[in-house]
Amino acid sequence: MVWRAKNVRQEVEGLLLALERQAREAVGLAERAQRDMDDDRFASYGDFRRKVEEVRALVALTEDRLRAYVGEKLDDLRTEFERMDLLLTVMLVKATRNYFATMKDDQVLPIGARELFEPELRNLEETRAKLAQPRFQGQVPDTVLAELEETVGMIGKIIARAPSLPDFSDAPAAPKPVRRLRTLGRPIRT
């Protein structure tokens, strides 16, 4: 039992360290995406989003591990995880808000921007639901909740003017070839 508790503790500590490292990388990518916005480049936003998804997956994994070891003495790590989870959530909300706040109203958006930004709204809705949970009551500053609402509004306006990917699903089927390929190699008789 002592070996198992020590092993579980080391695993959770490793996950918390990885979370911290991934969060720092996400912040760096958010800053780069914000700088690239001035040059109308959107590729670095994709890098930021991928890193955020990695952070979210790591949060879910850590939460799952902590939930699986209820009997273990990991209360200090649970407390640290909850603190870090709240900090990461707030940090990602601010980074997302800063990114979309730098987008100009007249900025030309690439084709497919709608599909790029729609998942962001879903993520923010999930974040809103997460911050409304009883465990976060009183811990989330009102300014963060206001920034979250403001970001949802900004993204909604951007999506409304963003071009979507072309839909080729209603296009008619390609015409059938007139000649078979085997007859194309025959010499023409005159």
What is the number of structural domains in the chain?
1
- What pLDDT is stored for residue 3 in this prediction? 43
Question: Angle at Cα 123 formed by Cα 119 and Cα 129, nearest 5°?
Answer: 145
Per-residue pLDDT of 73-115, as tens digits, reads 778 888 888 888 888 888 888 888 888 887 777 777 878 888 8
Q: Per residue in 24-50, pLDDT tens?
A: 898 888 888 878 776 666 778 888 888
> Within a domain: residue 78?
yes
Whether 101 is in a domain gets the answer yes
Q: 33: domain range?
A: 2-164
- Whole-structure pTM value: 0.72
Per the domain annotation, does 177 fall within a domain? no
pLDDT in tens, 113-171: 888 888 889 989 999 998 888 888 888 888 989 999 999 999 999 888 888 887 777 65
Residue 53 lies in a domain: yes
Backbone angles phi, psi at 126, to 5 degrees: -65, -40
- Does the residue 181 lie in any domain? no
What is the DSSP annotation of 9-64? HHHHHHHHHHHHHHHHHHHHHHHHHHHHHTTT--HHHHHHHHHHHHHHHHHHHHHH
Contacts of 4 (CB under 8 A, 6+ apart): 72
Q: Has residue 170 been placed in a domain?
A: no
In a domain, residue 68? The reply is yes
